Amino acid sequence: MKMLPVHQRLAELYTISRRRPLSAAELTEQQHCLHANAVYCWEMGRLNNEALLAAQTEDTAWQQVISAQLYEVRMNGKAGKGHR
């Protein structure tokens, strides 16, 4: 699975913080990464819940839309315009 750049940077900042205190700019960047990660997690959770509902109601058209949105979020960190 593809890793989003924000997740890679968050891992880098964590590794740096294990060796030395982060600078003010790095702390700000870390907060931005944490925010982006939270948005990503909430979006994936929402879509996974919708996918479950679509499966339970046997709505294949909705499942296809959700699958496309899940793919976009995994690849880009967010669904494209026109979704939701």
Alpha-carbon distance of 31 to 10, in angstroms, equals 9
User: pLDDT tens digits for 1-27?
Assistant: 678 999 999 999 999 999 999 999 999
pTM of the model: 0.82
Q: Determine the Cα–Cα distance for residues 5 and 64; give it in Å rounded to an integer.
A: 26
**Rounded (10°) CA dihedral 67, 37, 10, 24:** 150
Average pLDDT over all residues of the chain: 92
Residue type, 60: T
Using alpha carbons, list the distances in angstroms from residue 18 to 23, 46, 52, 68.
13, 33, 39, 38
Ranges of each domain in the chain: 5-76
